[in-house]
Amino acid sequence: IAGRHSYAKYNDWDKIVSWTEKMLEKHPEMVSRIKIGSTVEDNPLYVLKIGKKDGERKAIFMDCGIHAREWISPAFCQWFVYQATKSYGKNKIMTKLLDRMNFYVLPVFNVDGYIWSWTQDRMWRKNRSRNQNSTCIGTDLNRNFDVSWDSSPNTNKPCLNVYRGPAPESEKETKAVTNFIRSHLNSIKAYITFHSYSQMLLIPYGYTFKLPPNHQDLLKVARIATDALSTRYETRYIYGPIASTIYKTSGSSLDWVYDLGIKHTFAFELRDKGKSGFLLPESRIKPTCKETMLSVKFIAKYILKNTS
């Protein structure tokens, strides 16, 4: 029997599935659950749609848990759904956002990997697909997107933690997400992906040092968003393009979504800066989520006001 779900604790996959059901029951007018696909191990990929159900609205797509061991990331997506639904009608900003926008939230992108990190190997990162001619398992889903996919020769070996997969979008999880985003391209105005760790807010590009046309705009949003985040506990984030802020990466979701035409894409690297790394204690979940929420709300407000 799965124990109780808690926003202050890390929840395993079974608890997260039950939680999605509870959210549907509790807020039927505001939450719907969409199965966008399934994984190699036949687990469902659920997106929660938050907001009013009538008519088409601007939307923000958010995903968490693309890398299995980054547990704080799915914890934030759950927190976001909880806070959004709880504060509707009470908090002025959230009410306005949910009246006028929808949020698509994928609480766990890499479900098989996440389960593996709970049951077998806490340090697992990739998904759990088998690789031809290799005993090594898994593809790094954040190298599997069709954007400069084959530009790095260092991601082509199945035993690497950053293995890009045999082809772009070869993985069922990637395919499910890309199909969903493509089919909602008219309404999705922004994309936010959550990782850990290192306290950064990253913008395109990762595969090149070139800057996108709206770089100044994105940089300004990132600056204010990180300022907003720091107001709660003075947590310092750095921000900037992936390639120049960390290092060049190919095949990432952030760049793929941007080049598809969604011109506001952001990647959070949540707490901490290395003291605990991927093993952020549960006592840090709530503060991390609270401060991140300020940032995400600012981005959402900006998108609502500044996109057509």
Partner 1 sequence: IAPVHFDREKVFRVKLQNEKHASVLKNLTQSIELDFWYPDAIHDIAVNMTVDFRVSEKESQTIQSTLEQHKIHYEILIHDLQEEIEKQFDVKDE
Using CB under 8 A as the criterion, which residues of the chain lie in contact with partner 1 when the complex forms? 3-4, 6, 8-10, 119-123, 140, 152, 154-155, 160-162, 197-198, 246-249, 274-283, 285
Nearer to partner 1, 130 or 182 (CB): 130
- Which residue in 140, 119, 138 sits closest to 129, CA to CA? 138
Annotated catalytic residue within 70, 171, 173, 269:
269
Residues pairing with 31 in the sheet = 50
Question: Smallest gap, in angstroms, from Cβ of residue 266 to partner 1?
Answer: 19
**Six-digit token pair at 25?**
């029951």
Question: Smallest gap, in angstroms, from Cβ of residue 90 to partner 1?
Answer: 22
Rg (CA), the chain: 18
Nearer to partner 1, 154 or 183 (CB): 154
Give CA 27 to chain center in angstroms: 22
Nearer to partner 1, 180 or 197 (CB): 197
Question: Smallest gap, in angstroms, from Cβ of residue 248 to partner 1?
Answer: 8
Under 8 Å CB-to-CB from 258, ≥6 apart: which residues? 191, 204, 205, 212, 265
- Which residue in 44, 5, 25, 27 sits closest to 173, CA to CA? 44
Question: Smallest gap, in angstroms, from Cβ of residue 160 to partner 1?
Answer: 7
Question: Smallest gap, in angstroms, from Cβ of residue 36 to partner 1?
Answer: 26
Nearer to partner 1, 102 or 139 (CB): 139
Question: Smallest gap, in angstroms, from Cβ of residue 119 to partner 1?
Answer: 7
Alpha carbon separation from 235 to 188, 274, 279, 287, 288 (Å, rounded): 29, 14, 18, 10, 9
- Strand arrangement, sheet containing 188-196: 31-38, 44-50, 101-106, 58-64, 188-196, 265-270, 200-203, 238-241
- Please give the Cα distance from 143 to 155 (Å, whole number): 8
Q: Is 269 a catalytic residue?
A: yes
Nearer to partner 1, 4 or 305 (CB): 4
Nearer to partner 1, 36 or 242 (CB): 242
**Do 165 and 150 contact (CB within 8 A), yes or no?**
no
Alpha carbon separation from 238 to 86, 92, 225, 302 (Å, rounded): 30, 29, 11, 20
Which burial class, exposed, middle or buried, applies to 163 when counting CB atoms under 10 A from its CB (0-12, 13-18, 19+)? buried
- Catalytic positions, please? 269
